[in-house]
Amino acid sequence: MNLPDSRKNEEALAKLLEESHKIRGVSLWKDAWRRLRRNRPAMASLIFLIGLGLVAFLTPMLPLQSPLDKDLNNRRFLSPSFEPITMGSREGLKFADGKLTSQLALFEAEIAAETAEALAINDPLKQAEQFESIQDRIRVEHPFNQLWNQLGSVSFKMVQIRVAIFGDYAIPSIFGTDKLGRDLLARVFWGARVSLVVGLVATLVSLMIGVSYGAIAGYFGGWIDAAMMRIVDMLYSIPFIFVVIYLVTFLGEESVKAWLESYGIDQIMIFYIIIGAIYWLTMSRVVRGQVLSLRQEQFVESARTIGASPMRIVFRHLVPNVLGIVIVYLTLTIPAVMLFEAFLSFLGLGVAPPDVSWGLLLNDGVEALSSVKLFWWVVIFPGAALAMTLFALNFLGDGLRDALDPKMKNR
């Protein structure tokens, strides 16, 4: 390669590069971010959603009551109140001193004793047996497992931290209780976890399928595109909601469930896949449309003129310009998915107890409304939570769409 005419030496070059870095331009992403920041509702929504995500993640650590602890005798349909509550005080639990901390201490002592006994056994087989029965005992009788359902290891540790910090204190039932005496505040928080995860994961599934499918169809065009889009059109005309319900019908059959579980697929995962499999259609259409129009753009033509390979064109030129619209549709798909989950749960085909989701809560709430007395809190609080989240996602999506508007590109 030729040396520069003006014979710049190393130092001058370095200085030049440094300067160019300092006056580095504002990329379109930064530009869009700036525009988004000026949009107040969108930013408020973003903050709300981030906050919601954090709170949902930290829920096991928060001083909430148990979401599944039923009290059919004393606490059915209590209206919202500030009456103080102690963890583990329900008679039916039979916790020592009616307190969680006490029972926990007692249980841990017992387990420690049994473990010590087990260690003393000589016969390895018997020892293994003994250890197993200890594990079983923990699984069933550990106070945490009586108050919460299927805690993963991380959640388990979080609950331990919570007890260490807050002891037996729990926020009173400011959202009231439901028909089985369960605290609604706790259920809303724990339900958030499930609903949000379903929304995110299913959307991601639809994203992966949709973007690849659409990009391939859009880039190659011709008969490949025609064939792929025909398939999409066909699938579009099937009322997918019904197919999903239909599939859930089959997959809910006891024997089928067992068969699937033997493969390690549980119902929730099927859920994700099925929902994701519905929503990829729109994403693929959107991506394909965008790729098709981008293909005609002159900068893609110039990339071909330079001699760039198709891979290079797709990844360095097309994808970055498609990401914008993908992000917008992401934020608009998540609420659709969450609504759909609520819908399914309402019909009794979604998340099953003892798991909680906002949809399930709404189902309970609607049932509560049908009775004679007005138990408004059972439907209002979960409904408000869902509505606020959906609002936020919609506002954020609208704001993103404005911020990433390609018309602004050539200011």
Partner 1 sequence: MKDLLGFLIRRLGWMAITLWAVYTVSFVLMRAAPGSPFSAERAMPPAIEQQMRARYNLDAPPLQQYWDYMWGILSRGDLSWSIKLEDYSVNQVIAEGFPVSASLAIFALVFAIILGVSAGVISAVYRGTVADVAMMATAVLGIAIPNFVLASIAILLFVFLIPLFPAAGWGTLRQVALPAICLGLPVAAYIARLTRAGMLESLSREHVRTAFAKGLPKRTVIIKHVLPGALLPVVSYLGPATAGVLTGSLVLEKIFALPGMGSHFIYAATQRDTTLATGMVLTYTVLLFVMNTIVDLAYAVIDPRVELE
Partner 2 sequence: MNAAQTTHTSTEGSGSTTAEPPLLRVNDLKVHFPFRRGSLFNPEQGLIRAVDGVSFDIAKGETLGLVGESGCGKSTTARAIINLVHPTSGDVQVDGKSIAGLSDKEMLPYRRRVQMVFQDPFASLNPRMTVGGIIGEPLTVHKLASGKDRQLEVLRLMELVGLNPRFLNRYPHEFSGGQRQRIGIARALAVQPDLILCDEPVSALDVSIQAQIINLMMDLQQRLGVAYLFIAHDLAVVRHIATRVGVMYLGRIAELGTAEELYADPKHPYTEALLSAVPVPDPTIAANRRRIVLQGEVPSPDKHYPGCSFADRCPIVVDRCRTDRPGLPDRSHAAACWERDDPPEV
Our finding on whether 91 is near partner 2 (CB under 8 A) is: no
Residue 193 contacts residue 149 (beta carbons within 8 Å): no
Length of the chain: 411
What DSSP designation does 39 have?
A: -
- Kind of pairing between the strands at 169-170 and 85-86: antiparallel
Q: Is 311 in the site for partner 2 (CB under 8 A)?
A: no
Q: For residues 58 and 256, which CB has a smaller minimum distance to partner 1 in the complex?
A: 256
2, interface contact from partner 2, partner 1, none, CB < 5-8 Å by kind? partner 2
Pick the closer one to partner 1 by CB: 87 or 386.
386
How far apart (Å, rounded) are the C-alpha atoms in residues 373 and 286?
Answer: 48
Residue from 2, 122, 153, 237 binding partner 2 (CB under 8 A): 2
Q: Considering the complex, state which of residue 14 and residue 269 has its C-beta at the smaller distance from partner 2.
A: 14
One residue of 310, 348, 353, 354 binding partner 2 per CB under 8 A: 310
Query: Binding segment for partner 1 among 3-11, 88-96, 138-146, 237-245 (CB under 8 A)?
Result: 237-245
The reply to whether 44 sits near partner 1 by the rule CB under 8 A is no
- Which of 137, 90, 144, 128 has its CA nearest to residue 110? 137
Q: Does 404 bind partner 2 (CB under 8 A)?
A: no
Of the chain, the end-to-end C-alpha distance in Å amounts to 37
Q: State which of residues 9, 11, 23, 250 lies at the interface with partner 2 (CB under 8 A).
A: 23
- The verdict on 400 binding partner 1 (CB under 8 A) reads no
Q: Is 17 in the site for partner 1 (CB under 8 A)?
A: no
- Give the residue with the Cβ less far from partner 2, 64 or 294: 294
Q: Which of residues 311-340 bind partner 1 (CB under 8 A)?
A: 335, 339
Q: Which residues contact 226 (CB under 8 A, 6 or more apart)?
A: none
The partner residues of 170 in beta bridges, in order of sequence, read: 85
Neighbouring-strand partners of residue 85: 170
Output 65 or 321, the one with its CB closest to partner 2: 321
DSSP class of residue 151 equals -
- Classify residue 290 by burial, with Cβ atoms within 10 Å: 0-12, 13-18, 19+: buried
Where do we find the tokens 């994701």? 276
